Amino acid sequence: MEMAKWRSQDVKTRVYEAIERAKRTQPQLNAVVTFVDVEEQLKRLETMDSSLPLYGIPVVLKDNVNTKGVLTTASSRILSNYVPVYDAAICEKLTAAGAIIIAKASMDELGMGGTNLSAYTGPVHNPYDLTRISGGSSGGSAVLCAAGISPLTIGTDTGDSVRKPAAYNGIIGVKPTYGRISRYGIIPYASSLDHVGYFTTAVADAARALSVLAGRDDRDMTSSYEPVGDYEAALNSDLHGKRIAVIDNIPNAISEEEILENFNAVIDKLKARGAIVESVHLPDDLLSVILPTYYIIANAEATANHANLDGIRFGVREAGDSVEEVMIQSRTKGFSSHIRKRFVVGSYSLFVENQDKLFRKAQQVRRLIVNELKSVLDRYDITVAPATSTIAPHPEDSVELGLSDTYLVAENHMILGNFSGYPSISVPSGMFSNMPIGVNLMAKPFDEQTMFNIALAIEEETGWKGKTAEVEA
């Protein structure tokens, strides 16, 4: 349900009903880690202007967003006792815009994963089919939006951690330009790839949310000075003359006919609205190494970022007879085996003798990939591709097996948006086997307006605005 319909209710009614729905569906979805007390927030709201853009809107935060005085675990056992002493920048912006933060949502542990199966509180379930995954790492936030519990939920996106769960759950998932939203107070994964992103059920709400969240923050030196527009007011779905590129490596790597038929139907509708749609082909050898390049860079940066989670400076402390033993025990018990493997990969890449042949080589390959993408967006307004190669899988089918093009290219192409920092959005495009599917758009840096405009045209054609799943509690 989009924000306009939420606003038709009394503020306290809408907030408490959202909390009640979240609690009622928690046994089915397992999406909430911590509920946030809203009493003080509602009292503060009484002194605020009711015309604020998010006035009285219940919002959910991914559990790697620092909230002063509220448990923030990043879904990892090692942080299961961490209560921040300050708010993240986006918390300040949400509160100033009138939002009410109602819960902290489950995620893949420390953001490292794409299934939301690794959270220490257990897996998150897809509201369209509870036997299927939510996608990750922002799975809890995605599910709580898709189930109609909150019209705006916050996630983070390091590889496709907002945009893939958005496609799996039939909602809008936005990853804006790198630096567009401050990351101050966000527990990091990989600093050169991390973006704050978010979920909504309508493009207009997504445009409004970016105007609230974006802007320079001196506490995050990577945040941009680029002016922030009124993206919602400027929405325009007229596509005449818009140049759209289909990177054909991606649909060529998909074997699911229904996914391709849906995608081609979207393309035909864009053409009918006056868009110029053409296929382009990127070097196959570069697209096939997106994933290994990502693993090297992301895990190396994660290893550095999380060196302080040692049971001494941060994290649950395990007993030991020496400082070294305390650190070993704390990290061994505090992290799942999945995370420890990633730290091993990251550490290996950062060994002095390996940096040139692994970490720096990966950075060079990343630059080659981004240059190819830039050459496309120098000629086109936007790229479009199927968001995923299939519907949300069952847990036993989501294990990353094989090195086929379907996996390497079709399932990981959205990493292009993180390598480049370019803005990207996933939009629902239909249903297949009673599960939602979507398409993904990517635009030039800081051209979120064009991205939203074309996404709006797709939304108008598909009729998916405001749709949510019914969860039987």
Residues carrying an active site annotation = 62, 137, 161
Using CA atoms of 280, 169, 166, 395 in order, give the dihedral in degrees to the nearest 10: -80
The Cα 117–Cα 20 span in angstroms is 25
142-to-145, 295, 404, 434 alpha-carbon distances in Å: 5, 24, 28, 18
Strands 129-133 and 32-35: unpaired
The Cα 469–Cα 395 span in angstroms is 20
Say if residue 137 is preceded by a cis peptide, omega within 30 of 0.
yes
Sole residue written with tokens 């219940």? 58
Q: 377: which strand partners?
A: none
Cβ-contact 143, 153 below 8 angstroms = no
Per-position DSSP letters for 14-76, written without gaps between them? HHHHHHHHHHHHHHHH--EEEEPP-HHHHHHHTTS-TTSTTTT-EEEEETTB-BTTB---TT-
Strands 172-175 and 152-157: unpaired
Q: Three-state SS across 127-166?
A: CCEEEEECCCCCHHHHHHHHCCCCCEEEEEECCCCCHHHH
Query: How many C-alpha atoms does 234 have within 13 Å on its Cβ side?
Result: 14
Of 145, 51, 50, 55, whose CA–CA distance to 100 is shortest? Answer: 55
Tokens standing for residue 306:
């999380």
Q: Cα angle vertex 468, ends 465, 473, to 5°?
A: 170
Cβ-contact 417, 175 below 8 angstroms = yes
Helix (H) or strand (E) holding 280: strand 276-280
The Cα 53–Cα 46 span in angstroms is 15
